[in-house]
Amino acid sequence: MRKILWIMPNKEKKFSGIFKYNKELIKIKTKSCNVKTLYTGNSELYFHTFMFKFFLIPFYLILNSHRFYTLVLPEEGYAFLRFFSFAKKNIIIIHDYRKVFSKNNVINLNERIKQFYLDINFIFIKKFFKIIVPSKFTKELISKNLFINQKKILIIPNIINFENKKSKYNSKFRVLKNLRKNSQIVLTITSNETRKNIKQLNEIVKKCKKINFIIVGNLSDEFNLNNVFNFKNISDENLIYLFKKSNTYLDVSLFEGFGRSLIEAQIFKLNVICFKTKINKEILKNSATFIRHNTKFQNICKILKKNNLNRNRDKYYKNAKRFSLSNVHKNFTKNINEI
């Protein structure tokens, strides 16, 4: 049985999209291969992750990577580890190529530092046997900007899998009990990154005073408004509860490599309202409500209110099922077998 060494992010990142993406692929490969997972630590402390990523894992690779047929790295920030690997096949997963966004937008200092770090890692990309990406959009960006042959880049979409997971109430949610039964509730999953477009989301929330917003994400500046409920660090089971509690999913992100949360929302038959970007059109096709970047805030409020009356929600679920475990395994078998 072929042996695979799969490097994973820190265990504390288990609710992140990158962690979930790798975890679902490991489930598939475990059926036919001997997969050893090596985590980048299990603590929220940055120093802990730093020691694992830049010292312990490189040392482990030098001593043991030759024993494995394949080494898989979980995201682009691990590309430098190729230098320490003696595995026969080296594969890396690249979730997005955000430099095209960073160079055309004003980003904060932390993001500039991270982009510089990623630029260094991208120097090693051509040394990999195969590169896995979640979308055609990301494949085209990498091929064009890093001058990599498209045959070397394999598309395996995000697998959206809520099987064996049930809705779970959290004491944090008690503030939602006072909402009227038929009130309009809009869910958004976001972060502090510039590309997530928090400023515009804030303006929308202020304009749509009669709509309740549930915002999931570790935000540095919370929305201090009566119609906003912000939740941090919640599990998948808690997220299911919020999906079922909501009527609509709003996404105002300006750049994504896939857009996992949009498909997750469709699993629970929520209409997705988002910008008409290339990646959103790729993953959602015609199953979402698309808005322009310059759509007036009051018009977005009208769209959100109107959406509450939409009962034809089966098309949302139908699109999301394209990314189920069974369908991705079936439709991308050839690419998965390359791992």
Q: Which two tokens stand for residue 214?
A: 């549930």
Model confidence, pTM: 0.95
pLDDT given at position 76: 98
SS3 at position 293: coil
As a whole number of angstroms, the distance between CA 130 and CA 90 comes to: 7
Which regions of 99-218 does DSSP assign to beta strands (E)?
A: 130-133, 153-155, 185-189, 212-216
What's the pLDDT score for residue 212?
Answer: 94
For the domain covering 3-159+325-337, report its CATH number.
Answer: 3.40.50.2000
Q: How far apart are CA 5 and CA 72, in angstroms?
A: 6
171-323 CATH pick, 3.30.160.100, 3.40.50.410, 3.40.50.2000, 3.40.50.300: 3.40.50.2000
**Residue-level pLDDT at 297:** 87
pLDDT score at 60: 98
Residue indicated by tokens 């898989």: 72
Given a cut of 70, the residues of the chain with pLDDT beneath it are 222, 308-311
Secondary element (H or E) of residue 271: strand 271-275
Distance CA 216, CA 172 (A): 12
Tokens read off for 227: 């119609």
Indicate the helix (H) or strand (E) that contains 137. helix 136-146
Q: Name the segment(s) of the chain with CATH classification 3.40.50.2000.
A: 3-159+325-337, 171-323
